[in-house]
Structures are given as C-alpha cells and as structure tokens.
Structure 1
C-alpha cells in the first residue's frame, strides 16, 4: 500500500519535524484551531474523542486545551508518528495511541462524541469506507470535524497565487531531499484525485451527515468541514 509505505518511512518524521514545524505557525495551526473550536462549539462536554490520522497529535494538543477531561484516542497508520504522539502526551493519563487503518477503526459502534480527521480521508485507499467507518463509530448527534486538502474547483487570482506558493514550497522540499520527491508527488496526485470540498459535502449528506460549517483557506486549497451525524 503506497500510503502505508510513505507514512511508515523516514519521510513521515521529516514531514512532521521540518515541513509541519515550518508551516504550522504560518498557516496550519490556524486551520487546526478552527477545526477544534468548530467541534467544541457543538459538543463542549464531549467524553470520548478520536483523532483519526492523528500523526504526532497536533490537533489533540489544541483540543485538550479546550476540554482537558475528555478521553482522547489518537489513531494512525504511521508507527513513527504515533511514537512522537506518545512522547507528546506522555504526561496525559487520558490520552491513548492506537495503530489503525483509517478504513477499520478499533472503536465501538456509536461510541464517539467527536471524531477529528486531518488530511485523512484523502489518504484513504477507499475514501467511502472511511466515511462509512466514521458513520459507524460516531454517536447520533456526534460531530465529525474534517480538515483536508481538496481538489480545486476555481481558478481566481487568490487561488492561483496560493496554489503556486503551496506547490513551490512542497516541490522545494523534494529538491532539497530528492529521496522524498516521490512522497511529495503523491501529495499532489492525491489532491487531484480527491473530491472538491463541495463534492465531499454531498458525500457526507448521503451518509447521514449534515455539514454545519465549511471554511476555506488559501483560496480553497484547504478546507474545514464540521458535520453532525443525523442518522442512527
């Protein structure tokens, strides 16, 4: 599986310790805070929270600032990144880390108050299975908070400029570390083969979710969708 190989390689650590640390203070932490605050506004007293494709726990750290008493379960297919998450949450007794494919969550049916997924569904070999799993584990009235890069559906000046900056930065990493160029090319391919944010909103509706918030960043390159599970 290409995705599994990429995120269990040295590239996963490079992405977290170099790319993520460079971009988070500029852009991505803003996206994560929007994601977390949108979910907390709907379920302020959540008890069980799952962060699917948690990586090193970047979303979880913001969430626990809002609700430190919740049980947080970090799920990811990447053992290297989960290792970093365990280090980051070493002092938190209510945080757990589980190695898991995003198509098969080791979580009970209808047991989750909030499910976070950052840059997750797009990386699934079978995105609709991932959506089905989300529907299975989230309680009725529970929240699915999604952050991802989506396929662009417009080409206005803002979007074109931001897309150029985004691609240039990522390509530059492939030049600096040529061995990671394949993984970076995969990122671009995965976006082109994914849904637009509005197409994905329709997918969620078909699976019984109502999207109550759609927030675009960088002209639509990244989007946050906050959805409520309406069906049992």
Structure 2
C-alpha cells in the first residue's frame, strides 16, 4: 500500500471524505490517506497529525516524495491538538485505532470546544463505544460501510453535526449496517457466532451449562442470530 494505491479499508475511508474538504487525518502514519485525496484532487488542504516521532517522520517523507508540501502538513501533536484555528478544518478522519482511543481523542478535542462538521471514523475495536460517543455529542451517523481485509473486519462510519437517537442494537451493530446486511456484515457476525459456539463447548465441558454466564452468552448468540437472519 502507498498513497497511490490505498488498502480497501483506507479506500473506504477516503470515499466518505467530502469533495473540497479541509481535512485533518489524526494518526496519519505515512500520510497515505490525505496524500491520496490531494493527488486525486478531492480535497484542498490537509493536516497529517501524529503523536509519535517515527510515524511523523514517515508522513514528512511521503509529503516531500509526492510534492505536496504546499497542501499537506505533518504535525507532531497529540490528537486534535494538531489542528489550529487558522487551518479552517471541516473534516476529521481517525482510522486504525481502538474505539476507546478514538473516543478519548474526540473527547479531549470536544472539551476544548473543537467541533468539526464531519467525522469519519474507523475503529478497529469497540465500535459501539464510538457510536455511543457520537450519539451523546450531537453527531448523526449518516452512512456506514464494512470492509474485510484478510481475516479482519473494519467498520467505517461518517457522522455530521446533528441529533440522533440510537438504540442498543444500533450502537452494537450499526444503524446503517444492520439494515443493509451485506455479505461482509453477515460474515463478521457469523464469525462471532462461531466464537461463541466454542465458548459454549468450553462451558459445557466445565459443567457450567446452567450458569449465569452461559445464559448471558446465549442471549448474545440469539441477538446476533436475529439481526443477521
């Protein structure tokens, strides 16, 4: 992968970025995403934010390599602190992190009154935590996609300022994803059913088929079955 050829996961993130956006990509690593968007004339300006020196230097190298120094700037900073008021950023992407870390970054920025029109988020884990944060901070999820790379599933969501009331099912499965029920979505949750089957076997072997924990897993299993049927 490079800034010319994005992975399916990052390509899905890129597809959500509005035309002409002023973008901040937080945790940008090599700056492949903003560089790709600039090369394809989809955005006008971007910040590549990194908290670690190594990835920050990787981003700097890619910016020079692609001759994007007037449109793309790498900044060494923690989370949304990479963004300055004079950047006039309207869109933020955060991809490839755990859901807890993503919400920590958003919460820190939110507490400093940094509020952006569009958030495009791709948590590697704990997607429900990200959706809950959006729901509680006046952001509305407009669209979602799910991508599979090798044996991993990645959910990408785009949210804009607005109100939304998400149910517990919406938070867990995605308000858009659970309605579309694509083959990739079903495959992700079938994999989870297979994992729970193994848990059942282990609990039964331990003589705990009547235990509260077994019943809790059974409820989760039945819920997933109901959603993907």
| TM-score of the two chains, using structure 1 as the length reference | 0.57
- Please state if 1:228 is matched with 2:228: no
Residue 85 of structure 1 is matched in structure 2 by: 59
Cα distance between partner residues in 1 of 2:115 and 2:17: 13
Residue 131 of structure 2 is matched in structure 1 by: 201
Residue 176 of structure 2 is matched in structure 1 by: none
How far the C-alpha of 1:134 sits from its partner, in A, is 4.8
Residue 7 of structure 2 is matched in structure 1 by: 29
Residue 67 of structure 1 is matched in structure 2 by: 41
Residue 85 of structure 2 is matched in structure 1 by: 108
Where do residues 37-76 of structure 1 align in structure 2 (5 Å cutoff)? 37-40=15-18, 44-46=19-21, 48-67=22-41, 70-76=44-50
Contact map agreement 2:98 2:124 (CA 8 A) in 1? no
How far the C-alpha of 1:133 sits from its partner, in A, is 4.2
Instruction: Please tell me whether Structure 1 or Structure 2 has the larger radius of gyration of its CA atoms.
Output: 2
Cα distance between partner residues in 2 of 1:112 and 1:69: 11
Cα distance between partner residues in 2 of 1:94 and 1:65: 10
Q: In structure 2, do the counterparts of structure 1 residues 120 and 111 end up closer, same or farther at CA, with 3 Å as the change threshold?
A: farther
Task: Give the ranges of 4+ consecutive aligned residues of structure 1 lying more than 6 Å apart after TM superposition.
Answer: none
How far the C-alpha of 1:50 sits from its partner, in A, is 0.6
Contact map agreement 1:112 1:138 (CA 8 A) in 2? no
Uncovered stretches (5+) of structure 2, i.e. residues with no partner: 164-229
Residue 76 of structure 2 is matched in structure 1 by: 99
**More contact order relative to length (CA 8 Å, sep ≥ 6):** 1
Aligned residue pairs total 155
What CA deviation, in whole Å up to 9, does each residue of 1:51-84 have, x standing for no partner?
A: 1000011211222134366121110112111111
Q: In structure 2, do the counterparts of structure 1 residues 200 and 129 end up closer, same or farther at CA, with 3 Å as the change threshold?
A: closer
Residue 223 of structure 2 is matched in structure 1 by: none
Q: CA RMSD in A?
A: 3.0
Contact map agreement 1:132 1:207 (CA 8 A) in 2? no
Cα distance between partner residues in 1 of 2:35 and 2:83: 22
Cα distance between partner residues in 2 of 1:230 and 1:54: 26
How far the C-alpha of 1:106 sits from its partner, in A, is 4.3
- Please state if 1:148 is matched with 2:126: no
Contact map agreement 2:93 2:121 (CA 8 A) in 1? yes
| TM-score of the two chains, using structure 2 as the length reference | 0.58
